[in-house]
Structure 1
Amino acid sequence: MMMKIKRYLKQLLPVILVIMIGLFGSCKRNDGFNVPVSNDKTKPDVVTNIKVKNLNGAAYITYTLPNSPNLLYVLAQYNINGKTVRQTKSSYYNDTVLVEGFAKSQDYQVTLWSVSRANIQSDPITVTVHPDTPYYLLAKPTIQLAPDFGGINVKGIDRGKKDLGFILIAFDNSTQALEVQDQHYTNADTINYSVRGFAANPRKFGVYVTDQFGNISDTTVVNLTPIFETLLDKSQFSIYKLPTDSPTAYGWEVPYLWDNKTDDYSPGWHTAPGGPAPIQCTFNLGVSAQLSRFIMWERPDEYAYSHGNPKDFSIWGSDKPAPQDALLPQLASAGTVVGDWVNLGNYHYPDPPSGLTPGFTNAADNTFVKAGVNFDITPGSPKVHFFRLLVHDTWSGGDFAHVMEFSIYGNPQ
């Protein structure tokens, strides 16, 4: 019986191979609409029953397709800003084409062609669209510029959550002209960021908005003086241990947070596993200062995005001469006051830049951790003399935490 089966399979094998070759040979690459796939040179009819639905900076054009069996797609061509011509194609499966990127809310002419499989175009037909105000122009009036520590703060609203660029220019003494200093691209609905690196001297600043189609708004120009900012002197820092501060372990003590050593070969701050919640530490800055930002270095290399590195945390501060201990809440908004302490901000350490799952990160992620991460203090926060770190969660979700170093910036009072 087995011999008959084997002989039958041996006879069937060539047939199977022929079928497989035929199947593979029937698969052809689809190169889109550009390659002629027909020798029929008949000119297709035009689209009819055209209707327009205007959108912000765009428009939907619907139509009835011609009864042309050789039709491949509909082509729309239009000028969006007086210099840039765009083309949009819609296949014969659709009865709508989206035209977008218009610079203003005004009349624009869109030319439509039906195109056959032999790349033969129909007669042109022109339709007028009148898009609503594009999103980059809607965002422009919402921009607010304000002085910030070492620079300028930019706020605005992108209601459409579209890809927009906010371009900061500033007066350059060497060129005696306004030069681009920063380009901030985002599709977030709320715009709030700061550009630093400027001396605390009066300077002319400006911001304009651009979109992905190359449209540019006019420029908001103001005269502002950045707020003085400096790196606080770490030699003035000292430990200020409070009863609810976490016990430390392995010789990794709080003062190592300001020894200017960020590699994993040197100790940092490390709490004892199994310690009581919350995980926290406190130290004295040696001076009262309105804080602007801080850089935090987490433990790198094999510990990057793992172990006890903080994932979510808060910073609290106090300007009392000798602030008393308080059990700080795990959840509190910036500005919340508990006893002698005020919440200066709540933070999430950035996810791995590679997009990989924490614990399976790559060398680029480790490089990011080694460089330290900058966190802004909530603008308008009161001056403080004491700095308190409260860790809510670590990348391993454990009951201990560790940090290598802090550099803290602000305006000493």
Structure 2
Amino acid sequence: MMKIRSKIYNRLCSLQFLVLLLVACSLYSCKESEGFNEVVSKDMTKPGALTGVKVENLAGAAVISYVLPNSENLLYVQAEYRINSRTVRQSKSSYYSDTIRVEGFEKSGDYDVTLYAVSRANVKSDPVQVRVRPATPSYLAVYPTVQIQADFGGVNVTASNPAKKPIGVIVISNDKTTGKMLPIEQFYTEAEHINFSVRGFDTLKRDFGVYVTDRWGNISDTLYKSISPIFEIMVPKAQFSEYRLPSDSPLGATGLGWNTTRLWDNNTNDPGWHTEAGYGKPLQLCTFDMGVLTKLSRYKLWERGEAYGNDYSYNHGNPKAWTLWGSAKSAPADIELPVTSAKGTVVGDWINLGNFNCPPPPSGNSPGQTTPADLAAVKAGFEFNIALDIPKVRFIRLAVNSTWGNADFAHVMELSFWGNTN
């Protein structure tokens, strides 16, 4: 592993991602629009200059306070400053405020900021120079925490973003055509704990790189590592079988063909697995045998969507939160599972493989108000990663602890699993 300065072409190749982050930004300057009109008065009187300037330095930014001039036609305060060797920015603050925020600085250090009071006729006051010294910006604070390791079909990237600031984590690798290191994943997030995987590669060793950027186009060094992705296949469903345990939920709608084996019949439409209503237990449970000891990498779950003229998407007995439990025992014993537990918790012969939540509908609408985009998301299924530190398992228990319709039953159409069965 080695840490070297990111190549110029890496910066250029991330342009597509940066364009999404930058707002009204040109190559040499970037202006923020806050609704101030260019000219709203014919009074060309020059406003007085700002006084009593004070600076509060922050991570990658600074807040400057001041005393406004006694000018009747004052509209806003403007700050002009350079954040790096390429970009000059402007920030504006209404005359209702006595502070202005300057941000996007490339690194910790001294930067000059020029302040103006601007009138309604767009007449600037005399400039006031102030020096700020922002602390280390978030993208640079995140970079030392970046780790990259082999994952199934690719690599797994983790990092820590304790300030929860918007950053981009860019993964690069060798392009087959040009041989250059080009972006293969552009992960934008404000999460404190960053953890994602990039897949789609064979098991041959190849170079990967990771760097961190922010919405102002600043870019960290690049962490490089040669990695051989882990072999991954879909676990063959022909070997799946029900392994019913006494604590499993009674099945419902069996006369209509709903049963546990429907979870692996390669049919994402009705019928599927369905529990009986009114059972009165906090968990809706089913258990099955994959037929082979597997180091799981991920799985996909399909909920019930449109059927027989009805729309069940994000409603009814579709799972909203659930836990997957696994066991490597040859004949794992039954046990009452906890409603809530941490990943890795061991209860009897079973280990918590992870706690999962169904992603919210793309529309953000309440249940019963689904849009075509919501329906498409349900039809496509929801994919979830299994943590790399989870051991091999053969048996699976699906434990649903809440549904979108707050129902006392649950239903799932299909489950598919991926991993290494060797």
Code of the residue aligned with 2:294 in structure 1: it is: A
Find the partner of 2:298 among 264, 284, 293.
293
Find the partner of 1:44 among 42, 47, 58.
47
Post-superposition offset of 1:242: 1.5
Comparing 110-119 with 207-216, which one deviates more in the overlay? 110-119
Partner of 1:130: 133
3-state SS of paired residue (2:339) = coil
Post-superposition offset of 1:56: 0.8
Post-superposition offset of 1:162: 0.9
Alignment: residue pair count = 381
Matched-pair contact (CA < 8 Å) for 1:206–1:220: yes
Partner of 2:167: 164
Post-superposition offset of 1:355: 0.8
3-state SS of paired residue (2:263) = helix
Moved over 3 A (4+): none
Q: Structure 1 CA distance, aligned partners of 2:61 and 2:89?
A: 12
Matched-pair contact (CA < 8 Å) for 1:231–1:408: yes
Find the partner of 2:329 among 320, 333, 343.
320
Code of the residue aligned with 1:343 in structure 2: it is: N
Q: 1:241 to 1:52 in 2, by over 3 A?
A: same
Post-superposition offset of 1:34: 2.4
Q: Structure 2 CA distance, aligned partners of 1:279 and 1:90?
A: 55
Partner of 1:215: 218
Post-superposition offset of 1:213: 1.1
Partner of 1:356: 365
Find the partner of 1:254 among 260, 283, 290.
260
Partner of 1:272: 276
Q: Structure 1 CA distance, aligned partners of 2:223 and 2:59?
A: 22
Q: Structure 2 CA distance, aligned partners of 1:327 and 1:159?
A: 37
Post-superposition offset of 1:212: 1.2
3-state SS of paired residue (1:235) = helix
Q: Structure 2 CA distance, aligned partners of 1:202 and 1:392?
A: 41
Is 1:282 aligned to 2:282, yes or no? no
Find the partner of 2:269 among 263, 284, 292.
263
Q: Structure 2 CA distance, aligned partners of 1:248 and 1:321?
A: 25
Deviations along 1:73-125, one digit per CA (max 9) or x if unpaired, are 22111111111111111222222111111111111111112212221112222
Post-superposition offset of 1:359: 2.7
Q: Structure 2 CA distance, aligned partners of 1:233 and 1:177?
A: 37
Partner of 1:83: 86
Partner of 2:152: 149
Code of the residue aligned with 1:239 in structure 2: it is: E
Partner of 1:119: 122
Q: Structure 2 CA distance, aligned partners of 1:132 and 1:349?
A: 38
Q: Structure 2 CA distance, aligned partners of 1:67 and 1:259?
A: 77
Post-superposition offset of 1:361: 2.0
Partner of 1:341: 350
Deviations along 1:228-267, one digit per CA (max 9) or x if unpaired, are 1110001111111122222223221111111111123xx1
Matched-pair contact (CA < 8 Å) for 1:257–1:269: yes
Matched-pair contact (CA < 8 Å) for 1:246–1:276: no
1:365-380 map, 5 Å: 365-380=374-389
Q: Structure 1 CA distance, aligned partners of 2:209 and 2:39?
A: 51
Matched-pair contact (CA < 8 Å) for 1:249–1:272: yes
Post-superposition offset of 1:172: 2.4
Q: Structure 2 CA distance, aligned partners of 1:295 and 1:89?
A: 47
Post-superposition offset of 1:344: 0.8
Q: Structure 1 CA distance, aligned partners of 2:57 and 2:280?
A: 60
Code of the residue aligned with 1:320 in structure 2: it is: K
Q: TM-score scaled to structure 2, two decimals?
A: 0.87
Give structure 2 stretches of 5+ with no counterpart.
1-33
3-state SS of paired residue (2:197) = strand
Code of the residue aligned with 2:316 in structure 1: it is: H
Root-mean-square deviation (CA, aligned residues, Å) is 1.5
Q: Structure 2 CA distance, aligned partners of 1:384 and 1:269?
A: 22
Q: Structure 1 CA distance, aligned partners of 2:276 and 2:73?
A: 75
Comparing 402-411 with 173-182, which one deviates more in the overlay? 173-182
Code of the residue aligned with 1:270 in structure 2: it is: H
Post-superposition offset of 1:67: 2.4
Post-superposition offset of 1:221: 0.8
Q: Structure 1 CA distance, aligned partners of 2:278 and 2:74?
A: 71
Partner of 1:4: none
Post-superposition offset of 1:276: 5.2
Q: Structure 1 CA distance, aligned partners of 2:82 and 2:349?
A: 62
3-state SS of paired residue (2:317) = coil
Q: Structure 1 CA distance, aligned partners of 2:181 and 2:251?
A: 52
Matched residues, percent identical? 55
Is 1:411 aligned to 2:417, yes or no? no
Q: Structure 1 CA distance, aligned partners of 2:350 and 2:44?
A: 80
Partner of 1:23: none
Code of the residue aligned with 1:175 in structure 2: it is: T
Code of the residue aligned with 1:257 in structure 2: it is: L
Post-superposition offset of 1:360: 2.2
Comparing 299-308 with 328-337, which one deviates more in the overlay? 328-337
Is 1:304 aligned to 2:321, yes or no? no
Q: 1:248 to 1:32 in 2, by over 3 A?
A: closer
3-state SS of paired residue (1:175) = coil
Deviations along 1:111-158, one digit per CA (max 9) or x if unpaired, are 112212221112222221111111111111111111111111111111
Matched-pair contact (CA < 8 Å) for 1:105–1:131: yes
Q: Structure 2 CA distance, aligned partners of 1:274 and 1:41?
A: 77
Post-superposition offset of 1:275: 2.8
Q: Structure 2 CA distance, aligned partners of 1:103 and 1:137?
A: 9
